[in-house]
Amino acid sequence: MTVALLFDVSGSMEARLMSAREAGTHVLSWLDDDRDEAGVFTFETRLNEVAPFTTRLRSLPERLDTMTPFGATSLYDAIARTSEQLAPAKDGGGL
């Protein structure tokens, strides 16, 4: 399975980001290190790659701690850009 974790880090998420990090860590714990891969992305007015798609899933929770809320929200643009990133990973091409 390939999972893209997409976090809203706009200013409105400041009080909720801790809960979002916990949820992301929980989702990552369900994945199988030998078969699955995940990438971490954030967005506010633009999409940012926090961690590229990897099978080294245990390295990802610490990357979630680097997220800082700031700016406005561009949800639809972020979803579209994440989908573009996900397509090559799903096809086995990676990033």
Task: Please give the Cα distance from 5 to 86 (Å, whole number).
Answer: 10
pLDDT band at 19 (very low <50, low <70, confident <90, very high): very high
The mean per-residue pLDDT over the stretch 64-88 comes to 71
**By mean pLDDT, which of 7-11, 37-41, 56-60, 74-78 is the weakest?**
74-78
pLDDT band at 95 (very low <50, low <70, confident <90, very high): very low
pTM of the model: 0.69
pLDDT at 68 over 90: no
Confidence of residue 29 (pLDDT cuts 50, 70, 90): very high
Contacts with 20 (C-beta within 8 Å, 6 or more apart), sequence order: 7, 8, 13
